[in-house]
Structure 1
Amino acid sequence: MQIRQTAVSPAHNQHKLNPSKEDDPMKIKPFTLILLALSIILLAACSSAAPETVQVEVTRVVTEIVEVEGEAVEVTVLVVETVSEAIESEIAAEETMEEPAAEAPIAVAPQTDSAESIAPMPTPSPVGTAVPPADMFFQDYGVNPYILTSADNLSTFSLDVDTGSYSIARRYINDGLMPPPNAIRVEEFVNSFDQGYLNPPDTGFAVYADGAPSPFHNDGTYFLRVGVQGYDVEEEFRPAAALTFVIDVSGSMGQDNRLGLVKESLQLLVDRMRSDDTVAIVVYGSNARVVLNPTNGSDRSTILSAIYGLNSEGSTNLEAGLNLGYELANRAYKPGGINRVIIASDGVANVGNTGPEALAAQIRGYADSGISLTTIGFGMGNYNDVLMEQLADNGDGNYAYVDNMDEAERLFVDNLMSTLQTIALDAKIQVEFDANVVQQYRLIGYENRAIADQDFRNDDIDAAEFGAGHSAAAIYAVQFVPGANGRIGTVNLRWQDPDTRRVQEISGTFNTWDLSSSFESAPTHFQLAVVTSQFAELLRGSYWAEGVTYNDLRIWADRLAAQMNDADVHELASLIRQVSS
């Protein structure tokens, strides 16, 4: 349900026998001694447990010259030879040609008529059977505990609309691997799915809350979902955009056709550019250089020629690429327009400053002056998730990971406006729980987004950027005071308008009578958010997911996929099914 709130004005928002000897200097007699070797074919009875261990004996005809009583005699010999492994290999090969091996069941989004992916969705492999990629960098942010409301009734955090963690986990599972626990950020799983919220008609944001008893616990645990929906902007009404692509062309980008996927992904975005937009391109390997100065968005051939002409080279000087990219973006700045740097990389940096903190410090000033950042990750093995996420956070932007063209289309086509146009800066949430009703609570996820309670209204504290039409949700596990009824809590949302820099705040309340009586009677999008959060909890080995099983989640995910008939939900159900099997 949408919770009661104050009205605000819109924000400007995965073996040969020896060969016969035909020529011999010895004289051959006119008679021939023929030796016959009886050929017996032995068929090994195949047990039901091992039908592949069939052995057969094969007859071969061989002509040889032998000496008998001092005379050279031509002898024809039938040789019996036992063959096992070679026959098995041939049979296996024939069976493979005749009938393909059955694939793990999967339901994915239908292919579009757009360009065919050069990095297609991999066929799912049995999870745990593949070789893990090397040099993957993630960070452990810990797991939030339960908090006694009587000790601290305020829960404060920055909103997060990133989705990179879920896409990386999907790639691992589809490659037959379990993702590393440190790669899992619960909120990025939850926010990879539509929350089902209505677009606010005449306000900048709407705040929502719903809840229901947990289907996985018998200790009185309830799940709550607190969410925010930003107003949407039709693409035809968006401001002119000045985009600067900063593309990693280092040697590592030549692996697994990463650079090829970058090219196809960016073409999707170029195809959406208008005549009043500009596109500039900076590339970096050992050094950085400008490949394309700001070019009119309608000149697609020039832009795409520059993109498809790129080749991998050298080391990875991300620092040089960032600096040059921002300098170019600053020169192409459009007052009142969308000004954004888009980094396409595997996150590796091995020349110059390479740490997230040092790099982030260099872009902070540009972010404060209105140039936002989007970081897009590519590749498995030699990939730095930490760097890509933190750059986006410090650049007032968002982080996504592209593992296939479906994800690229979701980012640059389906969610173009939320990717490009910012409607809020420093968006923060503070939930004030009522200690008379809520005994204890636990925020599931957002561990690296925590903000000190006293800093909720400190406008110097950096928080999240929110794009047009974006939604974000947080899942809480709560336990109520026995027999208590009334106000569960008040949700406060605070943000800064990107155009006027005016700070705005709205709030709303949520009560016990607003809860659903059972989990299955709760809204399907709420059920989906909870199932997704628990999937992430299991993948990261959370203590608080004890008692929840993958099979439990599979049952609910399969049911939701059937009820919602949504390709993304079918895909989630497939991932859970692969892990649970």
Structure 2
Amino acid sequence: MKKVYELILLLFIVASCSTNPENDNSFSFSNGNTAEYDEMGEFQTGDQYEEYVENPFVYTSEAPISTFSIDADGASYGNMRRFIMQENMLPPRGAIRTEELINYFNLDYEFNGGEHPIGLNGELSGNPWNSENKLIRIGIKGKTIPESEDVPSNFVFLIDVSGSMASEDKLELLKNGFKYFVDGLGAEDRIAIVTYAGSAGVLLASTSGTEKNTIKNAIDQLGAGGSTAGAAGISTAYEIAQENFIENGNNRIILGTDGDFNVGISNREELIALIEEKRASKIFLTVLGVGRGNLNDAALEQIANHGNGNYEYIDNPEQLRKVFIYDYSKFYTIAKDVKVQVAFNPEVVEAYRLIGYENRILDTEDFEDDTEDAGEIGAGQNITALYEIVPVGNVSENLPAFTVDFRYKLPDSDVSIPIQLEIFDEAKTFSESSDFMKFTAGISAFSMLLSDSEYKGTSSYSQVLEWINSTNLRDEHGFKAEFKEIVTKAKDL
């Protein structure tokens, strides 16, 4: 009987992997990878991810106000790309965070902030995957800092050199990236290097940015071996950053690791508590995740979220250039604790759904609570959020204006500043919407297809390509063109 059961199970798995890839989340392996699934049927990689969740539709009559923190991370996109382009498989659902896929890309939002360090924009259009609903796009643009106004920086590299970092796609990749970073340092910038394995140590005391060879020679000395005392490294890095703190300057720790903490404080909640304690020092944090097989994505994303920071995943040399060269200005925070709040009128909106930002949802009262942490935005950076709304039946095609409230703090302030955006319904179809709407909606649909969302509607990979191809956005470094290749390959997988 057992053999019959095993045969039936095998036939079921084969059949499941043979379905139409256009609207299915089946996995196909062309590089010899062996699939492992947990008891819930979730694909297992050895990496650690949060349990997959998705924002549901909320009835406006029950909860008319939606509040969330912005998220400037891009790690989920790099990790997704690695699965599809290098591993020849679709990523597990827990690896997909829609907001990080959207915010990976540089969009040329106009900066119209005036006296504020952030500019706002938005629009409303038809919904391409559900014709009965509409989409609201909310855009934020960080102020660009001219080179003449650059403030001096106090950086601390915090580098995991434990045994798990020994592969080419981990420590060696990071070493190359840090060298790119050093090339961008100015005469008033300083950098220190802290390493951690079984214990933490200072490899390089805080050194002037003019001493590039000295800094690069220290980076070349890095080698992997031993266990991972992550908490000790974090504490030492903050101590060094505090000792060299620059008033009115840019003070930041850059952590490079696979997140495999296994010595000292290794519990994620305790690590987050440590980071929350340290963020009061007004030192910002950038987290760089690397590798596969033991990547603790869940912990790294939360450490960045709770540490006034951002999280990126490094999967290839071009991503190094993006983080350390093309997006260098993002290391300069221009606004922190940025929150968004939308009040929906039950008379015109029956229900709404925030697409992505699942672990960034805030309570209504958190919006004006200046002790409540939220996300940061770097110089020149853009943030986008989409809502799918269900209009009330028999309402006119043109909806009233939507008022979106924001609050932010200046980097060295503890008091938030309010700002508003009005979004008007001009009865635009999706095809009449801006390229920004088409591109970000296309990414959202792609994310829903990867995660087999119950809200994906009529979306397909072919349609995503059609929507993306209809745009004409600047693509200086080819990342938008690369996205089309990713969608095409995902369709085949």
Q: TM-score, normalised by structure 1?
A: 0.75
SS of alignment partner, residue 478 of structure 1: strand
CA distance in 1, matches of 2:156, 2:401: 46
CA distance in 2, matches of 1:214, 1:201: 28
Partner of 1:539: 450
> Are 1:140 and 2:41 counterparts?
no
Partner of 1:70: none
Query: What is the CA distance between 1:127 and its match in structure 2?
Result: 5.6
CA distance in 2, matches of 1:141, 1:580: 21
Query: What is the CA distance between 1:201 and its match in structure 2?
Result: 5.7
SS of alignment partner, residue 432 of structure 2: coil
1:340 to 252, 267, 283: 252
2:320 to 386, 408, 412: 408
Q: What is the CA deviation profile of residues 54-88 of structure 1, one whole-angstrom value per residue up to 9, with x for unaligned ones? A: xxxxxxxxxxxxxxxxxxxxxxxxxxxxxxxxxxx
> Are 1:327 and 2:239 counterparts?
yes
> Are 1:503 and 2:453 counterparts?
no
2:363 to 437, 447, 452: 452
Q: What does 1:476-515 align with in structure 2 at a 5 Å threshold? A: 476-481=387-392, 482-484=394-396, 485-513=398-426, 515=427
> Are 1:291 and 2:203 counterparts?
yes
SS of alignment partner, residue 380 of structure 2: coil
SS of alignment partner, residue 512 of structure 1: coil
Indicate the structure whose relative CO is greater, using CA pairs within 8 Å and at least 6 residues apart: 2
Q: Which moved more, 1:540-549 or 1:149-158?
A: 540-549
CA distance in 2, matches of 1:248, 1:459: 33
2:194 to 253, 258, 282: 282
Partner of 1:179: 91
Q: What is the CA deviation profile of residues 82-136 of structure 1, one whole-angstrom value per residue up to 9, with x for unaligned ones? A: xxxxxxxxxxxxxxxxxxxxxxxxxxxxxxxxxxxxxxxxxxxx96323168420
CA distance in 2, matches of 1:511, 1:477: 15
Task: Report the residue type matching 2:124 in the other structure.
Answer: G
User: Moved runs in structure 1, 4+ residues, more than 4 A?
Assistant: 562-566
Structure 2, unmatched stretches of 5+, are: 1-26, 35-43
Q: What is the CA deviation profile of residues 315-353 of structure 1, one whole-angstrom value per residue up to 9, with x for unaligned ones? A: 111111111111111111111111111100111111111
SS of alignment partner, residue 580 of structure 1: helix
Task: Report the residue type matching 2:246 in the other structure.
Answer: K
Structure 1, unmatched stretches of 5+, are: 1-125
Partner of 1:430: 341
Q: What does 1:312-391 align with in structure 2 at a 5 Å threshold? A: 312-391=224-303
CA distance in 2, matches of 1:471, 1:129: 36
Query: What is the CA distance between 1:363 and its match in structure 2?
Result: 2.8
Distance change >3 Å, CA 217–CA 564, structure 1 → 2: farther
Partner of 2:212: 300
For the 8 Å contact 2:438–2:468, the answer to whether it is kept is no
Partner of 1:550: 461
Distance change >3 Å, CA 255–CA 214, structure 1 → 2: same
Task: Report the residue type matching 2:139 in the other structure.
Answer: G
CA distance in 1, matches of 2:374, 2:433: 31
CA distance in 1, matches of 2:279, 2:188: 23
SS of alignment partner, residue 389 of structure 1: helix
Query: What is the CA distance between 1:456 and its match in structure 2?
Result: 0.9
Query: What is the CA distance between 1:488 and its match in structure 2?
Result: 4.2
Q: What is the CA deviation profile of residues 236-269 of structure 1, one whole-angstrom value per residue up to 9, with x for unaligned ones? A: 4211111000101111111234111101101111
CA distance in 1, matches of 2:347, 2:401: 9
Partner of 2:16: none
Larger radius of gyration: 1
1:213 to 114, 126, 130: 126
For the 8 Å contact 2:70–2:374, the answer to whether it is kept is yes
Task: Report the residue type matching 1:213 in the other structure.
Answer: G
Distance change >3 Å, CA 486–CA 520, structure 1 → 2: closer
CA distance in 2, matches of 1:569, 1:444: 21
Query: What is the CA distance between 1:480 and its match in structure 2?
Result: 1.3
Partner of 2:440: 529
> Are 1:197 and 2:98 counterparts?
no
Query: What is the CA distance between 1:565 and its match in structure 2?
Result: 5.6
Distance change >3 Å, CA 540–CA 564, structure 1 → 2: same
1:226 to 122, 125, 138: 138
Distance change >3 Å, CA 563–CA 385, structure 1 → 2: closer
Partner of 2:487: 576
For the 8 Å contact 1:149–1:435, the answer to whether it is kept is yes
CA distance in 2, matches of 1:563, 1:330: 42
For the 8 Å contact 2:124–2:423, the answer to whether it is kept is no
Query: What is the CA distance between 1:189 and its match in structure 2?
Result: 0.7
CA distance in 2, matches of 1:365, 1:235: 33
Q: What is the CA deviation profile of residues 441-474 of structure 1, one whole-angstrom value per residue up to 9, with x for unaligned ones? A: 1111111000001221111111112211221111
Report which of the two has the higher share of helix.
2
Query: What is the CA distance between 1:203 and its match in structure 2?
Result: 2.8
CA distance in 2, matches of 1:483, 1:522: 21
CA distance in 1, matches of 2:282, 2:402: 35
SS of alignment partner, residue 197 of structure 1: coil
For the 8 Å contact 2:169–2:290, the answer to whether it is kept is no
For the 8 Å contact 2:124–2:424, the answer to whether it is kept is no
> Are 1:248 and 2:149 counterparts?
no
Query: What is the CA distance between 1:563 and its match in structure 2?
Result: 6.8
- Computed over aligned residues only, the root mean square deviation of the Cα atoms, in angstroms, reads 1.8
SS of alignment partner, residue 545 of structure 1: coil
Question: How much identity, in percent, do the aligned residues show?
Answer: 33
Partner of 2:173: 261
Q: What is the CA deviation profile of residues 154-212 of structure 1, one whole-angstrom value per residue up to 9, with x for unaligned ones? A: 11000010000111001100020110001100111111123331022623222211122
For the 8 Å contact 2:405–2:421, the answer to whether it is kept is yes
Partner of 2:30: 129
Query: What is the CA distance between 1:216 and its match in structure 2?
Result: 2.3
Partner of 1:52: none
SS of alignment partner, residue 487 of structure 1: coil
Distance change >3 Å, CA 267–CA 503, structure 1 → 2: same
Q: What is the CA deviation profile of residues 550-569 of structure 1, one whole-angstrom value per residue up to 9, with x for unaligned ones? A: 22213323443x77666222
Q: What is the CA deviation profile of residues 401-423 of structure 1, one whole-angstrom value per residue up to 9, with x for unaligned ones? A: 111121111112111112x2111
> Are 1:475 and 2:392 counterparts?
no
For the 8 Å contact 1:438–1:488, the answer to whether it is kept is no
